Each structure stands twice: as structure tokens, then as C-alpha cells.
Amino acid sequence: MLQYEAIHPRYETSPEIEKIVEAVSGCYQCGTCSGSCPVAPAGGMDYTPRTIMRMIQAGLEDEVLASETVWTCSACYSCAVRCPRDIDITDVMIRLRNLALIRGYPARTGVAHRGKVYNTDFMEIVRRLGRIYEPELVIRYHLKTNPLNLMGMAPVGLKMLLKHKLRLLPDPIEGRREVQGIFYRLRKEEARREQQVREEQQARKRREAHAGDEAPEEGAR
Amino acid sequence: MKYAYFPGCSQSSTAEEYNRSLLAVAKALGTMELTEIPDWNCCGATPAAAIVSPTLPTSLAARNLSIARDMGMNEIVAPCAACFKNLRKASHTLNENLELRAQARGALRSRRPDGPASETASLAVGDRDLSRAPEVRHPLDVVINDVGLDNVPVKKPLHGLKVASYYGCLLTRPSPSFDDAEHPTTMDRLMEKLGAEAVDWAYKTKCCGGGIYMFREDVSFAMSADVMAHAKAAGANCLAVGCGFCQLMLDLYQSKLEKIRRTTFRLPILFFSQLMGLAMDLDRAELGLEKLIVSPFALLAKTVDAPEGSIEKKAPPKAAKLKKWGEP
């Protein structure tokens, strides 16, 4: 199965994915990335970085983008500085995370979902205020995931409050309109590109349907 | 030297003492003049690159870089490791990649002169000029390479402190940064200059897991606990850090890490700027030592503040033996 996929990668064409595939094409599976990764041995990844590299090469796009690994990579660049093939693995992970979000990949696990919520909410606050406002982030995040956890945060919050380590009021910047403009324009550009990709995909699917003799695709895990 | 100063979000909340102590040290040094970038915006930390498009962090940083350039500054000092990495990366990108620079300029174009008169109102209305982005530096780099270790006035040597210098992930990576990615020594050299003992240990650049704390608490605690266990085993009695988030993970959650490992660490986590301030005998109120969750005062009373000669008499505590890898 894997071998077949390697010969016939089934990528949905997109310049972003092509960039990623090209970036990892030199990977020879030495495993330095997985050996350097602090998250994988602590049990935070469903696929190790090396496996992800191989999955990209094999064309397992759906599996890669639905993985926990793309969210739990802590972006510490340990793998990137050690890779003997000079692949910026951290950058690849971040690009995958970006694709998983933009493409609206259904989160296969709770972790992927929570990673999605955290990253989105963080940037939504930055978009609105120009700076982060931690209490809102924590409250929003827990309300969207597990509100009961907010109770667990209370002792920590109190500790920080007593040490004056908590920003009580948001601190919006004067130039927040400009920051909002950055989000607005980049988002519009991104939507345009995604629309293009989707149209190409649909056209391809129509062509395949006409061909008619396609074997039914095996479902994802 | 004059530098534009980018404090970053956490330096006004969770790591307020980092900001305060750094400014106090810079003032006392005299050769490190920091002027805050007016109306700076968040660099986006780690989430920025995942949202909207991979060019978002560059575009967010471009605004800060261009304000700093308009101030007439060629160099920016960013104390937070995430800001430091994001701004540094963006500065290189804008200077080297013309395509991405055009994209960032497109995202920033025609900003409106809205809002009440602010510091930014003095800037010309129109597109931001993103050419010649300033160089971005970490205060540790500035202290070592610009100020120079010999010019740090040590009035009260930190005798008795065994400092494990913890660089974390983003101070030295992605390389090239100001120090070696695998075995950095800048902070260790600074600690020795301050009169402390620099402990040699293996987890200097291991990630604390702060970036995934919110959605994988268990994993990030396991990572932080590893760091603490190794510092303790190497015989350190405190840690020096240069990142607000590392400090938060190791200090605020230290009691939780202890519970996970079923042990006691009790290691104060100090910012390197606080240790500099202590050695330079600055006003303690300016160093924000009282804000640390694991109080450093008992340790300081036993070591730095102890009467002359009392430390040498005591035999140094024996360093705990390193257990097998992965064991608590």
C-alpha cells in the first residue's frame, strides 16, 4: 500500500503542498529529527518527525494533515539545526499546521482540535488588540474545550495575581487598525488561492468520475 | 550604543521583572541605551505562522521593524526569546527575499491615519518602507559582544551561587544566532564574570515545552521536569534564563513538576538580568526579585548576602548522581 502510494502520490495539487514536498524530498530517513525532538519521547506526537517526513514523501496528505504532530511540534528548531540534509523541518511542520487549518481538516483527535482552538484564539486576540491579552485567551480556550478546566486554572491564576503577574485589563495599541489590515489582506489573498485550488480539485474529480473505472479509495484510518 | 527596545507582550505581564531588571541594568551600564519602540505590536509568538498564511509573522514583525527604522535605529533589542526569533527571522527575510518583502508591503499598504494623535502620528502617512530592516539582537548578545564582559561592574560577586544557564530553544536557534546552537556559552561566561559558578549540564538548549502547554499540559510538564531534574542533578542551586516563557514554565509550575517527579527541586529561576543587577549591587526593588514564585531570598541570604568568608568554610554540597536517562 505504502509502496504503491510512493509511486503514485495522490496529492491535491497546490503550490503550498508542492513547496513542502520539494523541501522534504532530500530526506534520507536518518532519524536525527526524531532523536532530537523533545516532544516525541515525552509522548506528545502520534507520528515522529521522521515518520511525517516519510509520509509526505509517500503522499499521505490526509493522514499528515490530520495528525497530532503538526500541532504538538513545539517549534524549538532542534531538528532543523541538526538535519544533515538541511531541511527546515520546523518550518515544514508550521506550513503543515497552516494547511491543516486553512483546509479545514477535521481534527481527528482532541489534541489536534485543542491545538487549533488555541492557535486561532491567540491570533484573534492579537488581530483585535495588536497585542496578546492572556486572561481572555485562557478563558476563551477553556470555554471552547473543557470549561471545567477553568476551575483548575484558579489556583495558578491566584498565584499570578498575588505576584502582580497578570495583566488585568487589555492593552490595545493605537495602530491596531493597521494590524487588522494585515490580517484582512493576507486572509483575502489566502482565500483567493484556496478557492483556486478547490476549483482545480473539483475539475479533476469530475474528470475522474467520467473515467468511471477508478477503484474506490481506501478510507483514512 | 543606542538600541530600539522591543519589550514584547509577556514583559509587561508574566515576566514584568525581566523588563524591569533589564532596564535597570542597561541604565547602570550606561553603554546600552534602550528606547522603546512606540506602539509596537505583538510578534505573534508561535501561533502566527499557523494562522492565515506563513507570511503573517513576517508582516506583523515588518510593522515593528519599520517603526524602529523610522526612529533612526539600526539595531533592535528584544529580550523575549519568541519575539527575538520572530523579529530576527523577519528582518533577514525582508532584507534578503524581495518577493516576501513585496508581500509584506502589500499586507501593510495604505495604513489609515486613524485614531487619536499618537506617537506614530509623526510618521509619514502612506506605505511603510520595509527596506533596510534593522538587525535584531538579544540583550545577552549585546552585553557580551557590545558592552563587553570587562565593562560589567561587578561590585558584589555572586559567590556561592551555582548557576545552571538555561538558554531554551529560541535564543540560539534557528542558527545562525549569536551563540552556538548545541553548546552555547555566553550566559555561562557572564555568570562566571559575575562571580557565580557556571554549572556544566546537558539540558541547556532543551525545549521547556511552553509552546504546547495549553493543549498538551502533560507533555510540556514532562519536558520541563526533565530540564529541572538535570539542573538539580548537575548540582545547580538556581537557574538563569533569558526567556519569559521558560521562566514561567519552570518557576510558576515548579511545584507541579515536583509532584510529577515526586521530588523537590526548590531552585529559584532568575532572569540573567536579575543576576546581573544583584552582582552590580543595584537597588533590589528594581530587580523584581519578590515576583518570583520560588523565592530566591533564602538562597541569597546563604550565599551572596552571607558575611565574608562564611561560604568557603562550608563544604560544597555533593552533586547528586545522574540517574539513568529518562528516570526521575
pLDDT for position B93: 93
The answer to whether residue B21 sits within a structural domain is yes
Q: Which residues 70-89 on chain B approach chain A with CB closer than 8 angstroms?
A: none
- Containing A36, the helix (H) or strand (E) segment is helix A32-36
The answer to whether residue B167 sits within a structural domain is yes
User: Region B275-299: what's the mean pLDDT?
Assistant: 95
Confidence of residue A191 (pLDDT cuts 50, 70, 90): confident
Note whether B167 and B248 are same-domain residues. yes
Number of structural domains (chain B) is 2
The answer to whether residue A153 sits within a structural domain is no
Q: How far is residue B231's CA from residue B303's CA, in Å, rounded to a whole number? A: 18
The answer to whether residue A149 sits within a structural domain is no
Q: How far is residue A7's CA from residue A219's CA, in Å, rounded to a whole number? A: 19
Inter-chain CB proximity A186 and B52 less than 8 Å = yes
pLDDT for position A153: 86
Point out the residue among B108, B205, B210 whose CB comes nearest to the CB of A182: B108
Cα three-residue angle A71-A74-A75, rounded to 5 degrees: 105
User: Region B128-134: what's the mean pLDDT?
Assistant: 88
Cβ atoms B40, B6 nearer than 8 A: yes
Note whether B104 and B162 are same-domain residues. no
Min Cα separation B28/chain A (Å): 25
**How is residue A42 annotated by DSSP?**
G
pLDDT for position B317: 54
Residue whose C-alpha is closest to residue B198's, from B244, B246, B149? B149
- pTM for this entry: 0.88
Inter-chain CB proximity A77 and B174 less than 8 Å = yes
Note whether B109 and B243 are same-domain residues. no
Does the pLDDT value for residue B36 go beyond 60? yes
Note whether B55 and B133 are same-domain residues. yes
Confidence of residue A2 (pLDDT cuts 50, 70, 90): very low
> If you write DSSP's letter for every residue of A64-125 in order, what string do you get?
HHT-SHHHH-----HHHHH-TT---HHHHHHHHHHHHHHTTPPPSSHHHHHHHHHHHHHHHH
- CB atoms under 10 Å from CB of B134, counted, come to 24
SS (H, E, C) chain B: CEEEECCCHHHHCCCHHHHHHHHHHHHHHCCCEEEECCCCCCCCCCHHHHCCCCCHHHHHHHHHHHHHHHCCCCEEECCCHHHHHHHHHHHHHHHHCHHHHHHHHHHHCCCCCCCCCCHHHHCCCCCCCCCCCCEEECHHHHHHHHHHHHHCCCCCCCCCCEEEEECCCCCCCCCCCCCCCCCCCHHHHHHHHCCCEECCCCCCCCCCCHHHCCCCHHHHHHHHHHHHHHHHHCCCCEEEECCHHHHHHHHHCHHHHHHHHCCCCCCCEEEHHHHHHHHCCCCHHHHCHHHCCCCCHHHHHHCCCCCCCHHHHCCCCCCCCCCCCCCC
The answer to whether residue B166 sits within a structural domain is yes
Q: How far is residue A175's CA from residue B112's CA, in Å, rounded to a whole number? A: 9
Min Cα separation B280/chain A (Å): 25
Residue whose C-alpha is closest to residue A115's, from B275, B165, B261, B213? B213
Report the CATH number at residue B67. 1.20.1050.140
Cis omega (within 30 of 0) on the bond before B176?
Answer: yes
Confidence of residue B296 (pLDDT cuts 50, 70, 90): very high
- Containing A137, the helix (H) or strand (E) segment is helix A134-144
Note whether B167 and B127 are same-domain residues. no
CB distance from B46 to chain A under 8 Å? Answer: yes
User: Region A98-123: what's the mean pLDDT?
Assistant: 86
The answer to whether residue A70 sits within a structural domain is yes
Tell me which of B106, B137, B168 is where a domain ends.
B137
Confidence of residue B115 (pLDDT cuts 50, 70, 90): very low
Q: How far is residue A31's CA from residue A79's CA, in Å, rounded to a whole number? A: 9
Grid coordinates given for B7: 519589550
Note whether B98 and B45 are same-domain residues. yes
Grid coordinates given for A145: 474545550
The CA distances from residue B327 to A38, A91, A172, B246, B253, in Å, are 15, 32, 46, 22, 20
Note whether B11 and B125 are same-domain residues. yes
End-to-end Cα, chain B, rounded Å? 46
Angle between helices A149-162 and A134-144 (to 10 degrees): 170
Min Cα separation B257/chain A (Å): 14
pLDDT for position B116: 42
Each residue's pLDDT tens digit, B93-109? 999 999 999 888 888 87
Q: How far is residue A188's CA from residue A186's CA, in Å, rounded to a whole number? A: 5
- On chain A, the residues whose CB falls within 8 A of the CB of B226 are 38, 42
**How is residue A217 annotated by DSSP?**
P
Beta bridge partners of B165: B240
The rounded percent of chain B whose pLDDT value lies above 90 is 76
Note whether B51 and B200 are same-domain residues. no
Point out the residue among A81, A114, A175 whose CB comes nearest to the CB of B41: A175
Give A22: exposed, middle or buried? Use CB within 10 Å, 0-12, 13-18, 19+: exposed
Inter-chain CB proximity B41 and A173 less than 8 Å = yes
pLDDT for position B134: 95
Note whether B55 and B195 are same-domain residues. no
Tell me which of B75, B109, B137 is where a domain ends.
B137
Point out the residue among A43, A98, A183 whose CB comes nearest to the CB of B49: A98
Pairwise pLDDT comparison (B29 vs A102), residue with the higher score: B29
Confidence of residue B53 (pLDDT cuts 50, 70, 90): confident
Report the CATH number at residue B280. 3.40.50.11810
The answer to whether residue A138 sits within a structural domain is no
Number of structural domains (chain A) is 1
The answer to whether residue B172 sits within a structural domain is yes
Each residue's pLDDT tens digit, A11-23? 555 677 888 999 9
Q: How far is residue B173's CA from residue B171's CA, in Å, rounded to a whole number? A: 6
Point out the residue among A81, A94, A130 whose CB comes nearest to the CB of B42: A130
- On chain B, the residues whose CB falls within 8 A of the CB of A158 are none
Q: Which residues 62-101 on chain A approach chain B with CB closer than 8 angstroms?
A: 71-78, 80-81, 88, 90, 94-95, 97-98, 101
A160 Rama sector, left if φ>0, alpha if ψ -120 to 50, beta otherwise: alpha
Report the CATH number at residue A16. 1.10.1060.10
B8-22, B38-52, B60-74: which range is least confident on average?
B38-52
- CB atoms under 10 Å from CB of B156, counted, come to 14
Q: How far is residue A138's CA from residue A161's CA, in Å, rounded to a whole number? A: 14
Grid coordinates given for B176: 545562525
List of residues 6+ apart from A209 with CB closer than 8 A:
none
Residue whose C-alpha is closest to residue B121's, from B232, B38, B212? B38
ipTM: 0.86
B4-8, B168-172, B244-248, B317-321: which range is least confident on average?
B317-321
Residue B45's domain spans which residues? 2-137
Note whether B109 and B202 are same-domain residues. no
- CB atoms under 10 Å from CB of A32, counted, come to 17
The answer to whether residue A113 sits within a structural domain is no
Residue A94's domain spans which residues? 1-106
Each residue's pLDDT tens digit, A117-175? 999 999 999 999 999 999 999 999 999 998 988 888 888 889 999 998 888 899 899 99
Note whether B177 and B257 are same-domain residues. yes
Q: Which residues 166-205 on chain A approach chain B with CB closer than 8 angstroms?
A: 166-167, 171, 173-179, 181-183, 185-187, 189-190
Cis omega (within 30 of 0) on the bond before B174?
Answer: yes
The answer to whether residue A48 sits within a structural domain is yes
